[in-house]
Structure 1
Amino acid sequence: MKRQFPYIVALCLLLPIASRAQFYAAGNDQGSLRWKSIRTEDFKLIYPNGADSLARIYAYKLEQYKYDAGRSAGAYPNQNFRRPLPVVLHVQTAHSNGSVNWLPQGMNFYTLPDALSPDVLPWEDMLAIHESRHAAQLQLAGSKGFKGFRAVSGDLFGAALSALYPSDWFLEGDAVVAETGLTASGRGRSADFLEYYRAAFDEGDFRNWYRWRYGSYRHFTPDHYKIGYLTLGGARYLYDEPNFSAIYFDNTHGKFFPLAFDALNRTLKQVSGKKLKAVWNEIAAAQDSIWKEDIASRGEFTQRERVSPEARRFTQYTGTTALEGQLYSIRKGIANGNHLVRIGKDGSVSTLRPFASMTSALTASASDGRIYWSEVVPDRRWSLKGSSRICFYESNTGATRTLTREGRLYNPAPNGDGSLLSVTDYPQNGGSEILVLDSFFGNETMRYKAPDHIQVVESAWLGDRIVASGLSEDGFGIYDVSGGFSTLLEPRQAKIKQLRSQDGNLYFVSDRSGVNELYRLNASEVVQLSNNRLGASDFVVCGDSLYFSALTAEERAIYKASINGPGKIDYGELYKHPIAETLSMQEAALAAADGKAALGADADIAISDARSYNKLLHLIKLHSWLPLYVDFDETSNLSFETLTTSMGAGATAFFQNELGTAFGSLGVSATRRYSSLTDTKEWRPGVHARFTYTGLYPVLKLSADLGNSHPYQYMLNTYSYGGTEYISLKSKELQRPSASFSAKVYVPFNFSGGGWQRGFIPQIKASLTNSFINTTIIDNKVVQLMGEKKGAALIFNGLTPGEAVILGRVTASVRAYSVLTTPSSRKYPRFGAGGELGYSLRPALGSYFTPDLYFNIYGYLPGVMDTHGMRLALLGQYQFKGAFKDPYLRVLPRGFSAEYELNQYLSARYPIQAVFNLDYDLPLVNLDWAGLGRLAYIKSVDLRPHLDFAIYSGSEKYAKASLFSVGSELCLNLGNLAWIPYDTRIGLTYSFNGGSLWADMTKNGVSSQGHHHIGFIFSINL
């Protein structure tokens, strides 16, 4: 412990940076929910009333898989911690997900099965294995070599460790390795998962590891799950080391310094004798060789012709359907968001409307000219509640309608005459069903409950019969819904998607051959209708022709081809993925070495009885602490300024409840400040508290600060001279400690949908201090002195009794926004606007301090090029009449320091203030340069010219005036900075300042600002 102490102190300085993004709250469930809990040996499951059966299934699965999930990681879930790991089940979401939080430690399961494109593994098993592997990784924070750090910081150290060490690519890639090795499916066997790497390697696009890891603004890059799986799975495959992850975690402990920051290279060197660059080249070459061998084995490929036009940047067309001789598709790319488009017979593309990101594929109803889809929509208030609505586009009018607004309904399929729709429904407490709706009102006409062991996914109509694809532990199959879910196609460990019917035939896409191809099911006979080099998807059958989307390194374009596949095939003959099969054999060997015969074998698992979970009794749960004072409210967007102003001497403790709805901090600090009482700088202690609660309909934020300074007493003085009366405010520092309190209440309404992010946020904020103003007015008269002491003097002329009024402020505002989602190659949305309107005043002091009406309006427009963007903003305020100007905002062009004297100078003269801002984001060059290795990956160099123009008016005494600044930012955009794996922006900003007020400001000495301003830019995007 003594040897670790200096390292602990040094690391504590980095913890707030590395762990800020790890402070995790999944969101907020509906506040009216009541909760229960059950326990197993290592898990505590918390779930809403009514989900008892679902909770017991997850409890069983977590215990069943915990040893398997942790074996090759070197630790099983919760091995290094005494208390059961909290697992919160969220049953009201309309999308599927799961997470393991390092800060505070816990798990969150979104229990809705993947409804849009599930992998060949039941959702309960997927979550239990994947998230249990994350929980096994979490044991690193409690391992023997790091206990000293944990004693100093609690969970906070583990969060920093997860960011600085394995990082997201390792954590997620390792979990995908586990789900692939421990099952007969997993994402490592899915054609969709690595399809872009397959296309890129096929065209010779062998980027270095850092380019795949940190991405690019120029080239499409898959997410970190893929590079993680390829790196870790590839290393285990090539070097036959099933314990690769366990060795890596062992190597995080340094021999001399407790943290070994080169753990990855140390591990690679240990298992292969090579470093990362050489290992990655071998992995890429081996995977490419596997794919090339597969290509050579699959015979003659479909000849095709291009339909969609070429795009300048990576663009893909998905979810395609046909109507009235034209194609409708969802287009998206790295420079443009999702849009519904129509593709004419000549290949021309018409953009119809923005489109949401979480939707089903499109399906057409020829009888009424409708294009149907399902769209996930968030609840207006609760972020962990949502719905999936059935929507349609009318081709004859161009209008978009919503057929259903409630429930979780997915994958609509119209019948032959368009009068009915079959949709998939997922009740909150488990199971799946096929609903039949009338297409006019959206009313339910029939309901078919699937057997408990089957998750129905998509449906289609064969005449009056409904058939559906279904997922079970045996894999994907096809079932006759109308016939009591009898089996039409036996389930196999291969994905089935895009189930469609046409002219009495049933079509589907499957990856049974290792790539996605189109199949037709005739009775019990399966016919393969396509054979593409790299596979294809989103097929549309038009007579003897096919339209489909096929992926290359540059795009996913639409092609046309004749139906000429291999014909009748044995559907039970599945492609064997060499890397995935090796992983499974390795995991089986490890289990056998432990004396366990079968992976995931049934076991005797003790599960407690359910108990009521009291939210109030579990409101505060301490999880972390630091020997520093840190205000995380101020570091939500880390920059150089906030880092230097929000950290200091002291200590901080952090708490958060298990539901993630109550969180905050308690801290003590010591600050050295000047005091007029002693005319010296002195150290002053302080106590600070922050608390946020999101479990009520309005969000509540409270804060309190005691000490660190002294309060002030303010006194009013008036004097008359020459027939004019003047008033002034004098202050006196008081001996007692300062105290300030604030409360903010707001409702974050969310109206997002259709590709637009929309919100409306009314809020009220009140603050209170123990400084006060004495409203007793001391009246003085100015008299002229004669004789030897000529001059002027103030003579007491009486007083007007008043009272002591505590200084406080109340601000009410409304905020609204509507913006398109921002693609990966843009910094600004293509279109959007938002604004805030507010009113601020000091209660009981309105006759002395001016109330303030303020506004902030902003908007986004496209630039000259598709990656350029423009942001326009107008910020302003109007100060009402009063003795003392008390501005709520500082309205200045950038480049002007917000000096107190300058702000008071402007406020005293001009009640109306407004500043216009114009920013133009101009990417200069996309570097994608990894020459600095782990130190920094430079993605691009950006130039951002800006123009600010401020107007000051409304004065009866002073003429309208202005200030301006014009300049630019020049920045490097980094994918990482040393061991901090977040996008970082570093650069310089220059502004030339001027305006009609410049000479007067200089003359009156209210600002030390020069014409030229140069500043340093440093920000970390968390």
Structure 2
Amino acid sequence: MRHKNRLSITLFVLFLISNAFAQDPPGIKWKQIQTNHYQIIFPEELLSDANRVANTIEHVHQGIEQNLKHEHKKIPILLSNRSVIPNGYVGQAPWRSEWFNIPLMIKEMGSTEWYRDLAVHEGRHIVQTNYMNQGVSRFLGMVFGDGTQSLYTGILIPSWFWEGDAVGIETALTHSGRGRSSYFNRTTRALILEGKKFNYQQALYGSFKEDYPGHYELGYFLTDHIKHAYGKEAWPNIINKTLRWPFTLNPFFPFSRSMKKTTGFSLHELYGNTFNELGENWGSQLEKLNESPANILSPKTKIKTSFLHPAMTPNGEIIALKTGLGNVPTIVKIGEIETVLKKISPSANLFGYHSNGTHAVWSAYDPDKRWTKRSWANIRVLNIDTGQLRIITSKKRLFNPSISKNNKLIVAVSFSETRQCSLMIMDAETGKIIDQVEAPNQGLIIYPSWSNDGREIVFTSQKYRGRAIYIYDREKRKFETIKAESWTEIFRPVFYQDYIIYESIIQGIDQLVAIRRGDKKEYQVTARKFGATNSTVNSKGQLLFNDYTSQGDAVAVITLNPDDWAEISSDRKQLILGSKINPKDQAIYDGTVPKKQYEIGDYKPALHLFNFHSRYIFDDELSPSLGLQSDNILGTMKFNADLIYNQNEKTLTERIKSTYSGFYPIIDFELGYGKRDVRFGPFTQKVENTRDSIKFAVNEKWHELNFNFGMSIPLKNSRRGITTHYSYAKTGIKFTRRSDTHHHYSFDKIPPNVRVKELEKRSDRDGKIMPVYIEGGMFSIDESAPRDLGNPGWQIYGYFGGAPLGGLWKGQQLSIRMQYGRRGLGKHHFIGTLLQYETNQGDYIMPSKVTFPYGYGWYFPESIWRLKIKYQMPLVYPDLSLPFSVSYLKRIHGGPFVDAASVSGHPNMLAVGGGITFETGGFFDIKFPISFSINYYYHPLNGNSGIRLDFE
């Protein structure tokens, strides 16, 4: 990944939870290796892996630069090992790459060893970022630093290029890149071959009514087509032309203009050419298929919905994991009717789910309460009949669980912080470990599965030479090799008589293949149009599996008859699907990877707290400023120093602020000093003993020193099912010292014989203001499906502040906000309720946290209650590109609201009305989602009405 682009919705959400500025727990002994081009930073326990990473990334350094060779800027690579989130990314502000040690155990990732895969894919992102340092981008980088340059190139160069080009490199340079995976392209392939055409904007912006290819898939096809249709210099030329004065030459479509100049075709024309060619290739491929029959058991759906990992109950009903645009992951029972059994965490899609028909087991994400880079993956067990849910492990790192037929044992993949992978067998009731063993090749174990009698376990394992199938006899504690390591696609093996059935690619489509244990001969079991996956054999000897179409993964069943199977070669060449990359090119790891022993040095976090990388001209409140930004590599300290110009007062303030997250409490610090100038008036004052009056205004000017200090700690951070529970507490002081206060008077007209002062020193307004506050919040929020208009749950926030230490001004505030949301009357409808209460006493030293209903002018309230109820419902999903590609409309939703407030000493407020919200995907082919609402309000108490535009 580059920055935070998602691999999937699940991975994206989890990555936000453990984001680029999260923290590891203290006590880690950090080490470093310096190579010619990279700095490897790692925990001491990863010393051996770090040395291998250093050799690996230097080995691929020149190969990954192909076509985009540019001046290399040395980059730190941080190896993290406390999180269970499988990921890697490159970030520019600060400049670094981070590699998490848990491999991504999903089908499309292929069989390349994890760090080797990251070296090629993330290494290519490093190359891309370096190459973007030219033209206006280089100028912006020199003036404003990495943050502005990253934003600029991220807007001009679409995300599909960054990821598609990287997927192309991993496909060309390894035996197992995603471009070789039929699972990777199945979304596009099914849509095209079923005649569901989609345009560029639909693929770019996505949809709520159809599942279009994501930016990895879209980008791979487009970048690969241009590379081979227009030569290896096409993409360098396109990028060069885009980044050199782009908005002057074409202010709206600089990227498309550059493509037109280079290839003779616009972006939309190239998109059409690419997908027409893919359709022809896949169509001819499909003509050769003699489709095998299968019975579909799952219900038809209006929108894309999958019923994954099917299993059959003793009475013939189907247990499946239902997912889709309209559903969070839900375990369902399919019989005469569909019954919801349990909604579960989306992390189960990533960490592994299995059912034997009577029980379901899965691994789910469990975060640490404080340290956002420390997390676990623990096993949940659901009894299908009783509905009882148990969590049988704690603070473990377990993946791909499978429960035995008799429900007594569970096998899972254990992956330690030292990157030791093993097969772990445990008691299904207690979670007690019974056996633990590494694979024969000491590789990554994926998706173990039980034999009927519970004596054997079949699984795949991969290291440096591809993937193999092994069987483990748990009584003899011995392994049997079923299929030796190779680059043939192998996934999810299961037992059937004396065969092992597994997923593999046959003529560009995922099919189910059987290998006989005795003679190792292989046979094709299925021949489905778009892919057969997730197989299991029921007690009747039938094969249940997922059959893919553009509507999702359906549940299919066939009767197994080995006499009907056609024998196939065991040495199948894996096609590079949809690509013209020369299959004879040598993979980058076929050569010897060096084993140089690098010098290991200490990395002392205290000496690297400051890492200035960006300059800015607007602060976080969009005030004009000149500022410097620093973020250290370990994500424990943020620091800003700036000079801020107050446009209203026309004054300057010097400020430094910092957040340090290396301690258990998170510490915030801010120090500022500057001039203030606040204008009051105009006022009118009658002159004594005359009929004259004076009109004047007052400018109060003073010097102000601000010192803010705060500490916050999390009180709870947990995930149960689809619900996230979180709470925190924070306390702090906001010290202000006023000095040299003067009133400057300006007069419209001074009557004769009247003396006035134009300047008056006001020492009475000099002094200290010292509010102290405590605040806290808690929430319990459910996951939502992509189509849902809100997240059910509740939130509570409380704030209490005052001036117990005395000072120039004294005030006190109590503010409480409660929010509650639930599903509405229809599918994806949402009802949101907001209740606020606030009291303010004494001087105005703490800003109010309550807004007023639509159409009412705001003033500082002494005491206020507010209640707002809003109903939202989807109206239409247009998937409409507006003329000239000005924008793209994905969804329109709306609904009524009522908003009431009661302020002490003032008339009550009441606004009723309704609004329509337009959800857009971006503007001028730039992906930048924005939602805006047009709201009509009416005041029944006074008859006023109006329309208001809000951005959401």
- State the Cα distance separating 1:289 from its structure 2 match: 1.7
Aligned equivalents of 2:613 and 2:784: distance in 1?
35
Question: Which residue of structure 2 lines up, in the alignment, with residue 487 of structure 1?
Answer: 481
- For 1:870, the aligned partner's letter is I
Of 813, 816, 823, the match for 2:775: 813
Aligned equivalents of 1:313 and 1:619: distance in 2?
50
From the superposition, tell whether residues 916 and 330 of structure 1 become closer, same or farther in structure 2 (CA, over 3 Å): same
From the superposition, tell whether residues 458 and 768 of structure 1 become closer, same or farther in structure 2 (CA, over 3 Å): same
3-state SS of paired residue (1:280): helix
From the superposition, tell whether residues 734 and 55 of structure 1 become closer, same or farther in structure 2 (CA, over 3 Å): same
- For 2:872, the aligned partner's letter is D
Aligned equivalents of 2:438 and 2:75: distance in 1?
34
Question: Which residue of structure 1 lines up, in the alignment, with residue 798 of structure 2?
Answer: 837
The answer to whether structure 1 residue 551 and structure 2 residue 548 are counterparts is yes
Cα contact 2:137–2:149 (8 A) shared by 1: no
Question: Which residue of structure 2 lines up, in the alignment, with residue 631 of structure 1?
Answer: 619
Cα contact 1:116–1:411 (8 A) shared by 2: no
Moved more, 168-177 or 316-325: 316-325
3-state SS of paired residue (1:982): strand
Cα contact 1:993–1:1013 (8 A) shared by 2: no
- State the Cα distance separating 1:52 from its structure 2 match: 0.5
Question: Which residue of structure 1 lines up, in the alignment, with residue 727 of structure 2?
Answer: 760
3-state SS of paired residue (2:45): coil
3-state SS of paired residue (1:298): coil
3-state SS of paired residue (1:284): helix
The answer to whether structure 1 residue 437 and structure 2 residue 426 are counterparts is yes
User: Matched residues, percent identical?
Assistant: 20
3-state SS of paired residue (2:192): helix
Question: Which residue of structure 2 lines up, in the alignment, with residue 303 of structure 1?
Answer: 293
Aligned equivalents of 2:845 and 2:628: distance in 1?
35
Question: Which residue of structure 2 lines up, in the alignment, with residue 315 of structure 1?
Answer: 305
From the superposition, tell whether residues 847 and 441 of structure 1 become closer, same or farther in structure 2 (CA, over 3 Å): farther
From the superposition, tell whether residues 321 and 46 of structure 1 become closer, same or farther in structure 2 (CA, over 3 Å): same
Of 407, 414, 425, the match for 1:425: 414
- State the Cα distance separating 1:515 from its structure 2 match: 2.1
Moved more, 357-366 or 168-177: 357-366
**Gaps in structure 2 of 5+ consecutive residues:** 1-15, 681-696, 742-763
- For 1:101, the aligned partner's letter is G
- For 1:557, the aligned partner's letter is A
Question: Which residue of structure 1 lines up, in the alignment, with residue 813 of structure 2?
Answer: 852
Of 508, 516, 526, the match for 1:514: 508
Aligned equivalents of 2:593 and 2:184: distance in 1?
32
3-state SS of paired residue (1:950): strand
3-state SS of paired residue (1:51): helix
- State the Cα distance separating 1:102 from its structure 2 match: 1.9
From the superposition, tell whether residues 803 and 226 of structure 1 become closer, same or farther in structure 2 (CA, over 3 Å): closer
Aligned equivalents of 2:774 and 2:498: distance in 1?
62
**Gaps in structure 1 of 5+ consecutive residues:** 1-20, 589-596, 635-645, 675-682, 714-730, 775-801, 999-1009
From the superposition, tell whether residues 664 and 321 of structure 1 become closer, same or farther in structure 2 (CA, over 3 Å): farther
- For 2:84, the aligned partner's letter is A
Aligned equivalents of 1:364 and 1:514: distance in 2?
29
- Matching of residues 187-266 of structure 1 within 5 Å: 187-237=178-228, 239=229, 241-254=231-244, 262=253, 264-266=255-257
Aligned equivalents of 1:979 and 1:529: distance in 2?
44
Aligned equivalents of 1:377 and 1:417: distance in 2?
28
- For 2:900, the aligned partner's letter is F
Question: Which residue of structure 1 lines up, in the alignment, with residue 634 of structure 2?
Answer: 659
From the superposition, tell whether residues 548 and 672 of structure 1 become closer, same or farther in structure 2 (CA, over 3 Å): closer
Of 317, 323, 327, the match for 1:336: 327
- State the Cα distance separating 1:298 from its structure 2 match: 2.6
Moved more, 305-314 or 85-94: 305-314
From the superposition, tell whether residues 406 and 85 of structure 1 become closer, same or farther in structure 2 (CA, over 3 Å): same
Of 691, 710, 732, the match for 1:744: 710
Aligned equivalents of 2:248 and 2:635: distance in 1?
32
Cα contact 2:96–2:633 (8 A) shared by 1: yes
- State the Cα distance separating 1:485 from its structure 2 match: 4.5
Moved more, 942-951 or 124-133: 942-951
- State the Cα distance separating 1:507 from its structure 2 match: 2.9
Question: Which residue of structure 1 lines up, in the alignment, with residue 914 of structure 2?
Answer: 968
Aligned equivalents of 1:559 and 1:331: distance in 2?
14
- State the Cα distance separating 1:284 from its structure 2 match: 1.0
From the superposition, tell whether residues 329 and 708 of structure 1 become closer, same or farther in structure 2 (CA, over 3 Å): farther
Aligned equivalents of 2:807 and 2:343: distance in 1?
47
TM-score (ref. length: structure 2):
0.86
- State the Cα distance separating 1:343 from its structure 2 match: 1.6
- State the Cα distance separating 1:128 from its structure 2 match: 0.5
Aligned equivalents of 1:741 and 1:765: distance in 2?
11
Aligned equivalents of 2:274 and 2:305: distance in 1?
28
- For 1:819, the aligned partner's letter is I
Residue by residue over 1:601-646, the C-alpha shift from the partner in whole angstroms, topping out at 9 and shown as x without a partner, is 33668664111111111001110113x2x223x4xxxxxxxxxxx2
From the superposition, tell whether residues 206 and 33 of structure 1 become closer, same or farther in structure 2 (CA, over 3 Å): same
Aligned equivalents of 1:257 and 1:836: distance in 2?
45
TM-score (ref. length: structure 1):
0.81
Cα contact 1:80–1:143 (8 A) shared by 2: no
From the superposition, tell whether residues 311 and 832 of structure 1 become closer, same or farther in structure 2 (CA, over 3 Å): farther
From the superposition, tell whether residues 255 and 114 of structure 1 become closer, same or farther in structure 2 (CA, over 3 Å): closer
- Matching of residues 521-536 of structure 1 within 5 Å: 521-523=515-517, 524-536=520-532
The answer to whether structure 1 residue 574 and structure 2 residue 568 are counterparts is no
The answer to whether structure 1 residue 941 and structure 2 residue 892 are counterparts is yes
From the superposition, tell whether residues 466 and 316 of structure 1 become closer, same or farther in structure 2 (CA, over 3 Å): closer
Aligned equivalents of 1:854 and 1:772: distance in 2?
30
Question: Which residue of structure 2 lines up, in the alignment, with residue 927 of structure 1?
Answer: 878
3-state SS of paired residue (1:130): helix
Of 85, 96, 102, the match for 1:106: 96
Aligned equivalents of 2:395 and 2:493: distance in 1?
24
Aligned equivalents of 1:38 and 1:1016: distance in 2?
54
3-state SS of paired residue (2:117): helix
- For 1:652, the aligned partner's letter is G
From the superposition, tell whether residues 846 and 146 of structure 1 become closer, same or farther in structure 2 (CA, over 3 Å): closer
From the superposition, tell whether residues 989 and 365 of structure 1 become closer, same or farther in structure 2 (CA, over 3 Å): closer
Residue by residue over 1:993-1015, the C-alpha shift from the partner in whole angstroms, topping out at 9 and shown as x without a partner, is 354xx6xxxxxxxxxxx923433
Residue by residue over 1:517-555, the C-alpha shift from the partner in whole angstroms, topping out at 9 and shown as x without a partner, is 223332123333222111122223232433322222233
3-state SS of paired residue (1:278): helix
Cα contact 2:770–2:807 (8 A) shared by 1: no
From the superposition, tell whether residues 245 and 504 of structure 1 become closer, same or farther in structure 2 (CA, over 3 Å): same
Cα contact 2:103–2:114 (8 A) shared by 1: yes
Cα contact 2:325–2:785 (8 A) shared by 1: yes
The answer to whether structure 1 residue 460 and structure 2 residue 435 are counterparts is no
- State the Cα distance separating 1:871 from its structure 2 match: 1.2
Of 802, 824, 827, the match for 2:789: 827
- State the Cα distance separating 1:435 from its structure 2 match: 1.5
- For 1:989, the aligned partner's letter is N
Residue by residue over 1:277-313, the C-alpha shift from the partner in whole angstroms, topping out at 9 and shown as x without a partner, is 22212211211122222222232x2223332223333
- State the Cα distance separating 1:887 from its structure 2 match: 6.9
The answer to whether structure 1 residue 889 and structure 2 residue 889 are counterparts is no
Question: Which residue of structure 2 lines up, in the alignment, with residue 641 of structure 1?
Answer: none
3-state SS of paired residue (1:823): coil
Question: Which residue of structure 1 lines up, in the alignment, with residue 667 of structure 2?
Answer: 700
The answer to whether structure 1 residue 135 and structure 2 residue 135 are counterparts is no
Aligned equivalents of 2:939 and 2:537: distance in 1?
64
Aligned length: 882
- State the Cα distance separating 1:858 from its structure 2 match: 1.1
- State the Cα distance separating 1:770 from its structure 2 match: 1.2
- State the Cα distance separating 1:156 from its structure 2 match: 2.4
Of 865, 882, 901, the match for 2:826: 865
Moved more, 976-985 or 184-193: 976-985
- State the Cα distance separating 1:750 from its structure 2 match: 2.1
Aligned equivalents of 2:417 and 2:705: distance in 1?
47
Cα contact 1:456–1:471 (8 A) shared by 2: yes
Moved more, 809-818 or 203-212: 809-818
CA RMSD across the alignment: 3.2
Cα contact 2:441–2:461 (8 A) shared by 1: no
- For 1:244, the aligned partner's letter is A
- State the Cα distance separating 1:362 from its structure 2 match: 3.6
- State the Cα distance separating 1:85 from its structure 2 match: 0.4
